[in-house]
A and B are shown apart, each in its own frame.
Chain A
Amino acid sequence: MRYLPHTDEEIGAMLEVVGRKSLEELFCSVPEGCRYQGTMDLPAPLNEWSLTDHFGELAEAMQVNHKYQVLIGAGSYQHHIPVTIGALMGRSEFLTAYTPYQPEMAQGTLQGIFEYQTLVARLLGMDVANASMYDGASALAEALLMGLRIEKKKTKVAVSRAIHPHYREVAATYLRPTNYELIELPVDKDGRTDLTGLADIEGLAAVAIQSPNFFGVIEDLTSLGQTIHDSGALFISSFTEPLAYGLLKNPGECGADIVCGEGQSFGMSRSFGGAALGMFACRDQFTRNMPGRLVGETVDLEGKRGFVLTLSTREQHIRREKATSNICSNQGICTLTAAMYMSSLGGSGLRELAKLNYDKAEYFKAQLKKNGAKLAYAAPTFNEFVVEFEKDFQPIYAKLQQKKIVAGLALGKYYPELAGKYLFCVTETTAKKVMDLVAGEVKS
Chain B
Amino acid sequence: MKKTPGISGLIFDEPLLWEKGKAGRRGMSIPASDVPAAELPGELQGKGPDFPDLSEIDVVRHYTRLSQWNYGVDSGMYPLGSCTMKYNPKINEKLAVTPELATAHPMLADDVVQGNLQLMYELQQYLAAITGLPGVSLQPAAGAHGELTGMLIFAAYHRDRQSKRTKILIPDTAHGTNPASAALCGYKPVPIKSGPNGILKVQSIAEAMDEETAGIMITNPNTLGLFETNIREIAEIVHAKGGLVYGDGANMNAVMGVINAASCGVDVMHLNLHKTFSTPHGGGGPGAGPVCVTSELEKYLPVPRAVKDGDSYRLDFDRPSSVGRVHAFHGNFSVLIRAYCYIRTMGAANLKKASQLAVLNAAYIKEKMKGTLQLAYNRPCMHECVFSDALQVEDKITTLDMAKRLIDHGYHPPTIYFPLVVHGAIMIEPTETECKEDIDQFIEAVKLVVQEGRENPDLLRQAPVKAKLRRLDETLAARKPCLCG
Contact = CB atoms under 8 A, between A and B. Distances in A.
9 contacts: A51-B341, A97-B283, A169-B324, A169-B325, A173-B302, A274-B335, A317-B177, A333-B282, A343-B51
Contacts of A138: 141, 145, 326-328
Contacts of B407: 102, 104-105
A196 interface: no
A43 B281 contact: no
Interface stretch (B387-395, B445-453, B474-482): B474-482
A434 B173 CA distance: 59
Binding site secondary structure of chain B: loop
Given A166-B328, A170-B327, 20 more contacts: A4-B432, A5-B433, A27-B255, A29-B226, A36-B132, A42-B130, A51-B345, A92-B88, A96-B74, A105-B69, A105-B407, A135-B329, A170-B325, A170-B326, A173-B324, A270-B102, A270-B105, A308-B472, A336-B283, A346-B26
Contacts of B72: 92-97
B326 A108 contact: no
Contacts, number: 700
A227 interface: no
Contacts of B368: 17
A45 B344 contact: yes
Interface size range of chain A in the complex = 35 or more
Interface in A323-382: 323, 325-336, 339-356, 358-360, 362-363, 380
A55 interface: yes
Given A66-B100, A363-B36, A102 B413 contact: yes
A299 B145 contact: no
Interface string B20-46: 010111111111011111101101111
Interface string B57-96: 0011011101111111111001010010111110101110
B144 A128 contact: no
A84 to B, nearest CB: 6
Contacts of B255: 27, 30
B306 to A, nearest CB: 11
A439 to B, nearest CB: 12
Contacts of A340: 59, 63
Given A65-B103, A176-B152, A358 B38 contact: yes
B319 to A, nearest CB: 13
B281 A1 contact: no
B107 to A, nearest CB: 6
Interface stretch (B114-122, B200-208, B237-245): B114-122
A104 B471 contact: yes
A341 B78 CA distance: 30
Given A42-B347, A274-B334, A342-B51, A36 B259 contact: yes
A174 B149 CA distance: 9
Contact of A45 (B33, B40, B345, B436): B345
Given A1-B346, A105-B467, A14 B69 contact: no
B115 A62 contact: yes
A164 interface: yes
